[in-house]
Structure 1
Amino acid sequence: MSWEPVPLPEVAALFAHVRAPWWIAGGYAVELAVGRAFREHADVDVLLLRRDQLAVQEALPTWEWWAADPPGTLRPWGRGELLGDGVDDVWCRPSASAPWRLQIMLDPAAGDEWVSRRNPAVRREIALLGGVSAEGLPYLAPEVQLFAKAHGTRPKDEEDFAAALPVLDAAQRRWLAEALGRTYGAHPWLGRL
């Protein structure tokens, strides 16, 4: 299945009328936080809170939406269907003949807090979950994105960590260290924070 990621300004246009919070996620979130591009990307990720999942269908009403059912099976996501826990990703494309353009990631929330799907004890106020780029794009805070990438680090995750580390302030480093320690006990990034 081929990918042709939507350029970030087009993502902003597609989600311009979405009233629910959303954030550019993945490697692009790290680049937006760092303020420069530093690697290639195979896709573009957008994070929504699970409770706001139908905002995808509202934002992309003429597109196809495919739920990634574990352990990695894609199936059509029906209009108005609420995806249950465990279905954390939705692949989107304009038509059946088009390449995949967007990956939507769904994370839980409780009240005013984002809740990590990796460890429900790791939380963050939704109002503090991200930033806004100079271009006006909302993006997931780098420490939160790095926490998500820490699960099974790949070379691109190590590259993202190395690029983001110099821009993390003391509070961001502390939050990431606490989240990593709480979730993994020991993690190779802890010694560098």
Structure 2
Amino acid sequence: MPLHWCIAGGWALDLHLCKQTREHSDIDVIITRDEQLIAYQNLKRDWMLYKAQDGKLDLWEDGEYLNSTEDIWVSKSSEMPWAFQIMIIDTEENFWTYKRDKSVRRPLDQICLKTVEGIPYLRPEIQLLHKAGSSQVREKDYNDFQTMLPSLLPQEKAWLKSSLNRQFPEGHAWLKFL
């Protein structure tokens, strides 16, 4: 059974633009909750996997199904720095659902794009929604938004605007740019 994954975070935006726009402190990879045990089985031989929960990191145990964990930190060993982070996303049937507002959703086969080399990455409007929807929008997230804005297609802007309006009916600072 194949594992569906894609690059997320700032690197996803840079892959979309076909150039690196800033320094990145990590690599984020998205998988679906349904496929987490496939990911575990494929990674456990060469990597140490830590689940982030309640503000702490604990080893992810063999066969342990993570019902609510959203982040897995991956390293070669306990002495090595983090190599990448796995973000577990939720789905309903064949739809991705946004963790902060389940009414925001997309068909699962439409949440990723691919580079000419075939590297899958999260669509820019979905990545920007994750950045904008956080309780604390960081400076780098705002800068990523401003960097991406000129390249967003009208339908991508419309989807992002609609999704932000759903999550923030009282308004959001980014809406005036969309």
TM-score by length of 2: 0.94
Determine the structure 2 residue equivalent to 1:32. Answer: 15
Percent identity between the aligned chains? 37
Q: Report the Cα offset of residue 61 of structure 1.
A: 2.4
Q: 1:84 aligns with which of 67, 70, 84?
A: 67
| In structure 2, C-alpha distance between the alignment counterparts of 1:158 and 1:90, rounded to whole Å | 25
Q: Is the 8 A contact 2:31 2:89 kept in 1?
A: yes
Q: Is the 8 A contact 2:75 2:83 kept in 1?
A: yes
Deviations 1:74-103 (A, max 9, x none): 011101101122x11000111122111010
Q: Is the 8 A contact 1:91 1:102 kept in 2?
A: yes
Q: 2:151 aligns with which of 157, 167, 170?
A: 167
Amino acid at match of 2:30: L
Alignment size in residue pairs: 174
Q: Is the 8 A contact 1:34 1:163 kept in 2?
A: no
| In structure 1, C-alpha distance between the alignment counterparts of 2:102 and 2:119, rounded to whole Å | 27
* SS at 1:106 equivalent: strand
Q: 2:118 aligns with which of 121, 136, 149?
A: 136
* SS at 2:82 equivalent: coil
| In structure 2, C-alpha distance between the alignment counterparts of 1:78 and 1:157, rounded to whole Å | 33
| In structure 2, C-alpha distance between the alignment counterparts of 1:37 and 1:107, rounded to whole Å | 25
Determine the structure 2 residue equivalent to 1:177. Answer: 161
Deviations 1:106-150 (A, max 9, x none): 110011100011110110011110100122110000000000011
Q: Is the 8 A contact 2:3 2:39 kept in 1?
A: no
Determine the structure 1 residue equivalent to 2:173. Answer: 188
Q: Is the 8 A contact 1:49 1:109 kept in 2?
A: yes
Q: Is the 8 A contact 1:24 1:46 kept in 2?
A: yes
Deviations 1:38-60 (A, max 9, x none): 10111100011111112321331
* SS at 1:101 equivalent: strand
List aligned pairs for 1:54-69, cutoff 5 A.
54-62=37-45, 63-69=47-53
Deviations 1:160-185 (A, max 9, x none): 10111111111111110011000012
Determine the structure 2 residue equivalent to 1:49. Answer: 32
Alignment partner of 1:95 is 2:74? no
Amino acid at match of 2:165: G
Q: Report the Cα offset of residue 20 of structure 1.
A: 2.1
Q: 1:154 aligns with which of 126, 130, 138?
A: 138
Amino acid at match of 1:95: S
* SS at 2:7 equivalent: strand
Q: Is the 8 A contact 1:147 1:179 kept in 2?
A: yes
| In structure 2, C-alpha distance between the alignment counterparts of 1:55 and 1:46, rounded to whole Å | 14
Q: Is the 8 A contact 1:65 1:76 kept in 2?
A: yes
Amino acid at match of 1:172: E
Amino acid at match of 2:177: R
TM-score by length of 1: 0.87
